[in-house]
Amino acid sequence: MADYHRYRWEDIENGILKLAQDILVSDYQPSVVIGISKGGVILASLISDILNVPVDLMQLTHWGFGKAEGQVVIKHRPSLSINGHDVLLIDDVSDTGMTLMTARDELYRLGARNVRTAVLDYKALSSRYVPDYYAYKWTRWVYIIYPWENFEAYKNLNSIDARTVFTRHELVKMQELMRTK
């Protein structure tokens, strides 16, 4: 059985506040926040509200459930012009760092003046890239499940792991909603 860490919304809010404080203390003043879809978009929206700057998104594919799947592919670039802007690039986790590095390099290619990166979770054992800001640092491998990934996790976990990650009540509710398992 794998080792799982399941976040609650309170953990996300605490992590966002830590990221915002770290950014403010560093005196970095981004003029736009870019979230990497899917998980980074939620975090980017929250950070943009705190910093009072516009938010946009990028979509890159690299990961399936719990494992990297090939090269990073950019599927959607920001719709806002970032030429000459100081950008804060946000994702939920840096597992290998490949998605962050690819997105950062693309933002520079699109004319960003400066790009800093922020994630909720930095996996120090596996990431080849150290984000500028992170709320939580992991020194052991864990599957992280964010609140916005509960249904995805439920669909992909075997029944033993699902019973470890979710309460009985949650499993019943997800079964009803998804009419599976």
Query: If DSSP states are collapsed to H, E and C, what string results for 140-168?
Result: CCCEEECHHHHHHHHHHCCHHHHHHHCCH
Which distant-in-sequence residues (6+ apart) come within 8 Å of 143 by Cβ?
2, 3, 4, 5, 66
Beta strands in 55-174 (DSSP E): 55-64, 67-76, 86-94, 114-123, 133-138, 143-145
Of 95, 121, 132, 161, which residue is the catalytic one?
95
Q: Is 118 helix (H, G, I), strand (E, B) or coil?
A: strand
Which distant-in-sequence residues (6+ apart) come within 8 Å of 165 by Cβ?
4, 6, 145, 153, 157
**Is 3 an active-site residue?**
no
Tell me the two tokens of residue 13: 């809010």
Q: In what order do the strands lie in the sheet with 55-64?
A: 67-76, 55-64, 32-37, 86-94, 114-123, 133-138
Catalytic residues: 95
